[in-house]
Amino acid sequence: MFGFALYTDNDNFRKRRLFHKEEAVIDNWIRKLKYHCQFYSVNDFYTQTARLGGGKFSEVFETKNKRTQVSYALKKIDKTKLNQREKEFLRDEIQIVSLLSHPNVVEMREVYETKRWMFIMMEQVHGGELF
C-alpha cells in the first residue's frame, strides 16, 4: 500500500491521507497536484499598490486584500537568484517564522510559491526599516 498526506496549519483544513495499492497511481496524483498548484496566482486575491523596498533577491510591496481591503506587506523573492543552500535556508526560516506568535514579531500570514517566485505575505508595519 502506498500513500501520502495532505495537511496545512490552517484550522479549517483537516489532515488527509490518501492511499492506493499501486505506486504509479500515487505518483500520478502527486504529479497532478504539483501541476495545478503551480498555476495559483497571488494576484487573484491581492492587489499590489506600492513598492516599499527591495534588495538583492527580493522586493517588498504594499498589497491589499481584494475582498477585505486590508493592507499587507508582500515580499516577492526571485528563487532563480538563490543557490540551493539559500533556498533551503529560506524554507527553514519560513517554517520557523510560521510558528511564532508574539506582539513584537511581524506576523507571517501566507506563503505562495511558483517555480520561479516565493511570495511571503506579512503583516504590514509602519515607521521605517529595522536594521
Q: Report the CATH number at residue 54.
A: 3.30.200.20
Q: Is the pLDDT of residue 4 over 70?
A: no
Q: Which position has the grid cell 504594499?
A: 62
pLDDT at 92: 87
pLDDT at 16: 76
Q: How many Å apart are CA 19 and CA 4, to the nearest integer? A: 7
Model confidence at 95, pLDDT cuts 50, 70, 90, reads: confident
pLDDT digits (tens, 9 = 90+) for 24-69: 888 888 888 777 666 667 888 899 999 998 888 899 999 999 999 9
33 shares its domain with 67 = no
Q: How many Å apart are CA 64 and CA 59, to the nearest integer? A: 16
Residue 60 lies in a domain: yes
pLDDT at 10: 57
22 shares its domain with 54 = no
pLDDT at 50: 92
Model confidence at 70, pLDDT cuts 50, 70, 90, reads: very high
DSSP one-letter code for 103: T
pLDDT at 77: 93
Q: Which cell numbers in the block locate residue 93?
A: 526560516
Residue 118 lies in a domain: yes
Please give the radius of gyration of the chain, using alpha carbons only, rounded to the nearest integer. Answer: 17
- Please say whether the beta carbons of 19 and 3 come within 8 A: yes
The total number of structural domains that make up the chain: 2
In terms of residue numbers, what domain contains 102? 42-123
Residue 131 lies in a domain: no
Q: Where are the beta strands (DSSP E) in the chain?
A: 2-6, 16-20, 46-54, 58-65, 71-78, 108-113, 117-123
Model confidence at 130, pLDDT cuts 50, 70, 90, reads: low
pLDDT at 112: 82
pLDDT at 57: 85
